[in-house]
């Protein structure tokens, strides 16, 4: 237990630069209360005003927390979201960031992930690589992803790349922890083609058999296999099936584990997501956000192949 509390202190110091005057809020649920307790104890021992709030487990990533939790997030200096499903792409997170809170979201974090893999990365290296990819995304207009016999193309013209570096120094900084990705919201209706998903899917886990997604005018219209059917069920019949994100993994210590919090950070992977993206420059609010990880695809921006990994 002491080792995990010390590790939590290290994360609060190094990744969130918690100072003595910061008020720390930890948002959790019944699924991850045990891990949240280590961070609560770490905050208390560091002498910070520390609040631990437990809510009913959300049913899917992107679902809003209760209003009272959102208000508490806006009133805090540093927020850790240690929950089963992600609060990253929620209005509550965005509003708290706009209020100046530094926010790390840790959806589905496990004890193993606290001690191995992505969390132990050289975050200076992660930061450098992340900003390099964001620069390419900022300048780019057209993206094509090729995986074996499948190809998906879409526009990113006018959209801004978002760095998720895993270090949160400034007011309003936010992202996953552990982290390491550069991501952007595609022009929603511009996406067309088929793409093979062979890594993992949030809420589903590692894929033992690849699935093929068919996207027309920005909407997911078909997904092969049993896991594909499950994905469609998670997304629902409405706006959840709209393409939401392109992400590039930038963490060379990350592993493919079946937990998308780490999976989408693996250097050499690319992921696409469906559902909400209004919190990072898109226009969709769907109450769901599901990531799909592709291992070692070919990625082109404006016709130029971009090396990943």
Dist CA 250 CA 136 (whole Å): 14
**What's this model's pTM, rounded to 2 decimal places?**
0.87
Cβ atoms of residues 80 and 100 within 8 Å: no
Q: How many residues does the chain have?
A: 309
- In angstroms, how far is the first alpha carbon of the chain from the final one? 35
The overall longest dimension of the chain from CA atoms, in Å, is: 56
The token pair that represents 51 in the structure block: 């609040």
Q: Which residue in the block uniquely carries the two structure tokens 């990072």? A: 280
Q: Beta strand pairing status for 78-82 and 23-29?
A: parallel
Q: What are the residue boundaries of the structural domains of the chain, listed by start?
A: 2-115, 120-306
Cβ atoms of residues 131 and 163 within 8 Å: yes
The token pair that represents 186 in the structure block: 């595609």
Tens-digit pLDDT string for the chain (309 aa): 899 999 999 999 999 999 999 999 999 999 999 999 999 999 999 999 999 999 999 998 899 999 999 999 999 999 999 999 999 999 999 999 999 999 999 999 999 999 999 998 999 999 999 999 999 999 999 999 999 999 999 999 999 999 999 999 999 999 999 999 999 999 999 999 999 999 999 999 999 999 999 999 999 999 999 999 999 999 999 999 999 999 999 999 999 999 999 999 999 999 999 999 999 999 999 999 999 999 999 999 999 999 987
Pick the CATH number of 2-115 from 3.40.640.10, 3.50.50.60, 3.40.1830.10, 3.10.20.440: 3.40.1830.10
- The SS3 of residue 22 is coil
């Amino acid at each position: 237990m002491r080792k995990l509390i010390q590790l939590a202190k290290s994360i609060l110091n190094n990744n969130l630069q918690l100072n003595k005057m910061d008020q720390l809020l930890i948002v959790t649920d019944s699924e991850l209360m045990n891990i949240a307790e280590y961070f609560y104890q770490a905050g208390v021992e560091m002498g910070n005003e520390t609040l631990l709030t437990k809510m009913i487990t959300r049913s899917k990533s992107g679902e809003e927390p209760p209003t009272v939790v959102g208000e508490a997030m806006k009133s805090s200096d540093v927020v850790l979201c240690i929950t089963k499903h992600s609060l990253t792409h929620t209005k509550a997170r965005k509003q708290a960031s706009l209020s100046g809170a530094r926010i790390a979201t840790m959806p589905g974090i496990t004890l193993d992930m606290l001690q191995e893999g992505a969390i132990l990365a050289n975050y200076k290296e992660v930061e450098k690589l992340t900003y390099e990819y964001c620069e390419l995304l900022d300048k780019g207009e057209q993206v094509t992803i090729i995986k074996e016999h499948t190809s998906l193309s879409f526009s990113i013209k006018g959209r801004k790349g978002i760095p998720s570096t895993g270090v949160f120094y400034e007011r309003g900084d936010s992202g996953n922890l552990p982290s390491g990705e550069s991501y952007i919201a595609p022009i929603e209706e511009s996406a067309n083609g088929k793409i093979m998903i062979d890594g993992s899917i949030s809420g589903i886990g590692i894929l033992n058999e690849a699935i093929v997604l068919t996207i027309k005018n920005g909407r997911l219209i078909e997904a092969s296999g049993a896991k594909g059917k499950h994905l469609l069920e998670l997304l629902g019949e409405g706006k959840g099936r709209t393409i939401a994100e392109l992400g590039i993994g930038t963490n060379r210590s990350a592993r493919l584990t079946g937990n998308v919090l780490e999976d989408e950070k693996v250097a050499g992977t690319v992921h696409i997501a469906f559902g909400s993206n209004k919190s990072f420059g898109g226009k969709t609010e769907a109450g769901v956000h599901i990531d799909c990880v592709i291992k070692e695809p070919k990625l082109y921006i404006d016709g130029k192949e971009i090396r990943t990994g």
